[in-house]
Chain A
Amino acid sequence: MWGGGAVAGAKTHYSVDLSGVASVTGSAAVALDELRRSVSSTARALDAALVALAKSAVSTTLEACSLERRASGEASVTLGGQLLLASQEAVVTYVGADDEMAQATRASDNRAVYNPARFGSGWSWN
């Protein structure tokens, strides 16, 4: 099950333990749901604080220092979900064509069933 045929100069392996992936992605889904709930609840608490401080200059500072974080927190959940979906799509593709993937996949090859460049497109990192 593990490892594919050797092709000189290329990374050729492509093997997936379906039960194992289902277990990992299932647990990741639980964690992502909790992350989403917690990030949303934190943002709601922030909104409540901004209303409570509306007449104070502190609210301006609070809004300024939290704006970016709020966006990055919400983005982290969204991107985490995208990664989860991407891995699931790749697994489904693998189930349909494991032989081809095991034999011929290369990270830099356009024929690769899953192109790593797809991950996180549209996002920037520092």
Chain B
Amino acid sequence: MELISVASLPTVDVAVETTRAAAAEMRTHAESVLQAGDDLRAVWNGLREVYDAPETLTLTARMADVTEASADFGRTFRRISGTLGDLAEALAQAEARLRALRLEVDQLRRSVLAYRAEAAAELLEGEWGATVWGPGQYEWNASLLSERERVRRLIEQAHDDADRDLRAIGSATGLVVAGFAAPLNPLARSWQSRHNDFVSSLGTHVLERLLAMGSTRQMEQLLARHPDWVDLLHAHPPSPDVIARWWAGIGTDGADALVAGAAAIIGSLGGVPARSRVEANRGLAISRLAALQKELDLLERDGPLGPDPRVRMSDDTDRVIDKHLRRLAALQLEMDYLGRVRSGDVKLYLYRPGHGEIIEMFGDPETAQSIITFMPGTNTTMESFYTSGKVLGISALTRWQVERSGETASVAGFVVKQGPFPQLDFHLLSTGPQNNDMAESLGASYARFAGELRVVAPETPVISVEHSFGSAVGGVAETLGAKFHSRLLLAGIGMTAEYAPDPKTKKYSMQASNDINKSFDGAQLGNWGYAVAPTRANSVIPLESGLPGTPEWVALVSPISPPIAIAADFASGLEQHNRIISADEVENGTVLNEIADQLSTATAGGRP
């Protein structure tokens, strides 16, 4: 019987760990291929709903072939990964047994050779000593020879199994590509990037088509046939700088025609000069005014109970009458406001009442030396704009700043509402100011608006003045890249934990010492609350507000009746929380003058 040697052991001629890792990687990515193919099929099937054309069936059928091919690819490589995984597992076992075998072979050989050397020395018969076995060595060697054979078979079997499994994989189904030899370029542009360009260019194509119509009437008819074109430009507008360049090349006649014939697009299209947007939105306001007038005429003609006799006989006439009166009041309020838009007293940079979007503009941003954008807070509605006065209300502070600049018109202003705001109402839990989800969407829109201003007034510093919840909106916008010269947080609620400050944007805060928001400073749990309080620790410089804070009498009452003192202090904090956005020079002079100073300073310096 031969004495086993290490050299006689079988070897594993495969990089086992690399194979195992490759198999695992292959499985993961093959599963992703299957998932992506499923996603593509599901998405593409929706094309038939929105694309009705002779080639629609061809488009969907060919994509089905694509997804079938990708499914075949995914399934096949998942199967291959299984085979390679099994091979690697078996060979890993073989390697482990070979390692143990090598050690034992080495031990045996040293033991046997030592025994034989000793025996040869004693017997002086070298020839005979070379074949002698010590106690148990013969059996030990025999068992190692057997193990060597078992491992050899294990390795062969693993290879045979893998080879058989791989040979059993049939030909590809679905897509067959003769001579296809174009491996995917990992550095190629993503389809998403190309799609973004496509969608953006689509908006420009729509504008070109409208322009080619020539007359306002034809533009209106075209858009009436394609209301989705308006939706497209709202959802996927070309970038403001693209629009600005395009607009500059269409001439006065073209611009005037678009403003009149495509107001629903032009009125909210970033990059269009502000005065053109205002004119387009004036047209929209006039149209809406006419529609509201019709509704008002009908309501007044039919009376509170309407033409249906069953209503008159119902037990619920009080509620119906109340609803009627409330609608009349709301109509009158909105119509008064739209009348001011029609006359030019109110200028709208954005007006999409169906989406709760409105931006009121003061002054001329294209000639102003600085711009104030005012982001309001909780409870802001469309009605907030209709009811705002010169001293109190949502636009009072901005109007004051612009009018103060007087004949030089050095300041322009915007009061911004680009969607629904949180409300303290019956839906407090879902849409109250503590829910920071709304700040995300409003902040994204605010960042886009700031980007538009950089195009229509590129050199003009913009100061964002934000009230209460509005500071969360401003924080999101800053995080998303809005380039404000500075932000001034009035009784700010703070920013969410995701806030990433722009070091070039200076931040200031002003609030009464007993402002109601102070109770919530820095508290956030998920989509509730705001983790970043407007404090010096967060690089927000506090400024004196001039607001009195807790009334002196409250401090006197506190030892006598703490509940009364707490309630009174809360009421005072709430009143000052709202007073801070007023244009009352006596009650809010410090805040008004601070903003005015900053606007004039920004005029001199500009954003670094």
Q: Which A residues lie at the B interface, using CB under 8 A?
A: 1-3, 11, 13-46, 48-49, 51-53, 55-58, 61-62, 64-66, 68-81, 83-88, 90-92, 94-96, 98, 101, 105-107, 112, 114-116, 119-120, 123-126
> Is B15 on the interface with A (CB-CB < 8 A)?
yes
Rounded to whole angstroms, the CA-CA distance of A90 and B56 in the bound complex is 11
Among B163-171, B308-316, B365-373, B490-498, the stretch in contact with A: B163-171
B555 interface residue, CB < 8 Å from A? no
Q: Which of the residues B16, B26, B84, B209 comes within 8 Å of A42, measured between beta carbons?
A: B26
Which residues B216-272 have CB closer than 8 A to chain A? 225-229, 231-232, 235-236
Contacting pair A95 B199 (CB below 8 A) = no
Say yes or no: B19 contacts A18, CB within 8 Å. no
Asked if A24 meets B50 with Cβ closer than 8 Å, knowing A35-B70, A75-B177, the reply is yes
Known contacts A22-B202, A45-B26, A124-B178: A68-B172 contact under CB 8 Å: yes
Choose one: B51, B53, B180; the contact of A71 (CB below 8 Å): B180
Say yes or no: is B29 at the interface (Cβ < 8 Å to chain A). Answer: yes
B22 within 8 A of A: yes
Cβ of A33 and Cβ of B33 under 8 Å apart?
A: no
Q: Which residues of B contact A81 (CB under 8 A)?
A: 191
Nearest Cβ on chain A to B187's Cβ, whole angstroms: 11
The residue that B66 contacts in the complex, of A17, A25, A52, A83, with Cβ under 8 A, is: A83
Instruction: Show 18 residue pairs from A and B whose CB-CB distance is below 8 angstroms, ordered by the A residue.
Output: A1-B227, A1-B228, A13-B53, A16-B53, A22-B235, A22-B236, A28-B191, A29-B190, A32-B191, A43-B183, A49-B18, A57-B163, A61-B162, A61-B166, A66-B76, A66-B80, A81-B191, A91-B51
Beyond A14-B53, A22-B199, A45-B25, whether A31 also contacts B13 by CB under 8 A is no
Beyond A18-B229, A22-B232, A72-B72, 8 additional contacts (C-beta under 8 Å) are A38-B74, A40-B184, A46-B22, A46-B80, A78-B184, A112-B55, A116-B55, A120-B65
B15 touches A42 (CB 8 A): no
- Asked if B195 is at the interface (CB within 8 A of a chain A CB), the reply is yes
Check: B138 CB closer than 8 A to any chain A CB: no
With a cutoff of 8 Å between Cβ atoms, the chain A residues found around residue B181 in the complex are 71
Query: Bound complex: CA of A107 vs CA of B550, how far in Å?
Result: 78
Q: Which residue of B lies closest to A16 (CB)?
A: B51
Inter-subunit contact A18/B80 (CB<8 Å): no
Total cross-chain contacts (CB, 8 A)? 302
Give which listed residue, B15, B30, B43, B49, contacts A31 with CB less than 8 A. B43
Question: In the complex, which residues of chain B have a beta carbon less than 8 angstroms from the beta carbon of A79?
Answer: 62, 65-66, 175
Chain A residues near B36 (CB-CB < 8 A): 31-32, 34-35, 38
Which B residues lie within 8 Å of A24 (CB)? 43-44, 46-47, 50-51
Ranked nearest first, the 10 interchain pairs of A and B with the lowest CB-CB distance are A20-B50, A73-B73, A38-B32, A107-B54, A29-B191, A45-B26, A52-B18, A29-B195, A31-B40, A49-B22
What separation, in Å, do the CA atoms of A72 and B74 have in the docked complex? 11
A42 CB, nearest partner CB in chain B, Å? 4
Q: Are B54 and A11 in contact (CB under 8 A)?
A: yes
List B residues 52-111 near A (Cβ within 8 Å): 52-55, 58-59, 62-63, 65-67, 69-70, 72-74, 76-77, 80-81, 84, 87
Closest beta carbon of chain B to A111's beta carbon, Å? 11
B73's nearest neighbour on chain A, judged by CB, is A73
- Interface of chain B residues 169 through 220 with chain A (CB within 8 A): 169, 171-178, 180-184, 186, 188, 190-192, 194-195, 198-199, 201-202, 205-206, 208-209
